[in-house]
């Protein structure tokens, strides 16, 4: 098995959604990077003030699934629940 990579975009519909992303992102980033198996994690603004680029990489499917489960009940998960996500998840060969 290989690493799991998620890449895509977080697409805010309003400036209020984008404000929530900016407000909660630092703590979400800190917590995610501290998770077991997190190899890389980056959520960054793009040229559009409502669109964020998302890149994540975890050592295993189990690590990625644990991250997804944690996020569901986190402050980040609650604050950004209605924001559209367009992600692709790939398993990479080691």
The predicted-structure confidence for 50-65, as pLDDT tens digits, reads as follows 999 999 999 999 999 9
Q: Which burial class, exposed, middle or buried, applies to 73 when counting CB atoms under 10 A from its CB (0-12, 13-18, 19+)?
A: exposed
CB 51 within 8 A of CB 12: yes
Q: What is the mean pLDDT of residues 14-22?
A: 97
> Which domains does the chain show, CATH number per domain?
4-87 (3.30.70.100)
Mean pLDDT rounded to a whole number for the chain: 95
Q: What is the mean pLDDT of residues 9-15?
A: 98
CB 7 within 8 A of CB 87: yes
CB 44 within 8 A of CB 52: yes
Q: Is the pTM of this model over 0.85?
A: yes
């Amino acid at each position: 098995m290989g690493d799991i990579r998620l890449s895509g975009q977080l697409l805010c519909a309003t400036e209020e959604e984008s404000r929530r992303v900016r407000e909660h992102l630092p703590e979400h980033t800190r917590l995610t990077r501290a998770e077991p198996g997190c190899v890389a994690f980056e959520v960054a603004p793009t040229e559009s003030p409502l669109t964020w680029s998302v890149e994540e990489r975890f050592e295993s499917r189990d690590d990625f699934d644990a991250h997804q489960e944690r996020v569901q009940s986190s402050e980040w998960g609650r604050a950004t629940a209605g924001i559209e996500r367009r992600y692709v998840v790939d398993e990479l060969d080691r």
